[in-house]
Amino acid sequence: MDASTPPGGEYLKLRDVTDAMRKMMAAIDSSNRVLRAITDVRGTALAILAPGGRFLSANSSAAALFGYSIADLIGKSLVDMVRDSDQTRVSEGFSGTASSAFHSFGAVLRGRGGRDTDILLHKQPIADSEGKFSAFLVVFEEPVILQQESLEALSRPQSEFRRLYAHLMIGQEKERKRVSAELHDGLGQALTLIKLMVEDSLLRIERGSVDEAIGLLESTVLRIRETIGEVRHICNELRPRLLDDLGLAPALESLCRQIERASGKVVVIFDCRVREDEVPDGLKADMFRVAQEAMNNVVKHAVATEIRVSLQRVASNILLTIQDNGIGFEHLPLSADDASSSGLGLIGMQERVESNGGSFSLQSSESSGTLVSATWRT
């Protein structure tokens, strides 16, 4: 945060701001599904606003959300940056008399590029040690995932979350069954056959039919070679071997080329701006799988001609994005119902990212294609 002068010419004390932050943390209900689902790929957008709504201070995430540099944002009025029909609400929300308690409300930002963005504002008054109100601490959240659904989602019964959870568990169980079937049917059968072939060869040697035995052993070697290939394939399904052999960036690069070859018509551009040692080992497989599923989705559904994959550092986070220029999808299928009617790809990616403390978001439109973003704190 930039140190700034609040109205009245006094400086806010750090302790006053952290105290407001603590109160705000307690007031925001983290078990609320909408808040959990709303993820901001840039990190938490924070600002301090003067009574009336003028920006006194902002972090880089807030500046990015509004499309300004920090320096340019300071001094601007939030009221001027929201849709006309929201101006009264925002100006009332930040009036000097609205200083009593924590409050969350929604508004539509009029973006600089003419793009409107739904945001949620969480506002906490900052008081000095004598309890005198001086400014507002504000967190801006961008409901990337649930845009139209957010209000409905608030009223959804608890049972739906249980169903979603059960669905994920079923997904995991299905995956285990698939691996087990592959081991049983693929490897198990192959090894049984090899055993029979070797036994048969032994018998022939005992009977003196050495030439026959040699022929049989030669086919056995071929069969073993195939089986090694199958083992590789299964291991690769479980954990991409390229990752261990080459590291994350080359493995992703190779995946991009593979997708390009397989699709025949999509160009994949990979931009990697992190060093191997900046990425925690425990996250690499997740990053690879998210990129893989997102790109497979593009090939399967998007009718795109280009995919841009990027891996970069944003403050202390690592951000992975997969952007296509395809047809998008109107309805964002991130509910249990949708997941059971289509694949588990999207929901599986979200689950994978969030289970390791990351956040996942999805933006899709007919005009701009689909953007899958995953961020992990490092």
Ligand X SMILES: Nc1ncnc2c1ncn2[C@@H]1O[C@H](COP(=O)(O)OP(=O)(O)O)[C@@H](O)[C@H]1O
> Contacts with ligand X in 277-336 (CB under 6 A)?
297-298, 300-302, 324, 326-329, 333
Task: Give min distance, CB of 329 to ligand X, in A.
Answer: 4
Residue 328 interface partner, choices ligand X, Mg ion, none, CB cut-off 5-8 Å depending on type: ligand X
**Closest to Mg ion by CB, 250 or 343:** 343
Q: Which amino acid is at 337?
A: D
CB of 285 to ligand X, least distance (A): 18
Shortest Cβ 346–ligand X spacing (Å): 4
- 313, 345, 354, 356: which one binds ligand X (CB under 6 A): 345
Question: Which structure tokens are listed for 44?
Answer: 């938490």
CB nearer to ligand X: pick between 342 and 355: 342
User: Quick check: 297 binds Mg ion (CB under 5 A)?
Assistant: yes
Nearer to ligand X, 73 or 302 (CB): 302
Are 154 and 106 contacting, i.e. CB atoms less than 8 angstroms apart?
A: no
Q: What is the DSSP track for 6-73?
A: PTTSPPPPHHHHHHHHHHHHHHS-TT-HHHHH---TT--EEEEE-TTSBEEEE-HHHHHHHTS-HHHH
Which of Mg ion, ligand X, none binds 329 (CB below 5-8 Å, type-dependent)? ligand X
Closest Cα partner for 343 from 334, 331, 352?
A: 334
Sheet holding 359-365, edge to edge: 267-272, 306-314, 317-324, 369-377, 359-365
Taking CB under 5 A as the criterion, the residue among 106, 171, 333, 343 binding Mg ion is 343
Q: How far is the CB of 327 from ligand X (least distance, A)?
A: 6
Q: What is the DSSP letter of 118?
A: E
Greatest Cα pair distance in the chain: 106
The DSSP bridge pattern shows strands 317-324 and 267-272 to be unpaired
**Interaction site with ligand X (CB under 6 A):** 297-298, 300-302, 324, 326-329, 333, 342-346, 370
**Interaction site with Mg ion (CB under 5 A):** 297, 343, 345
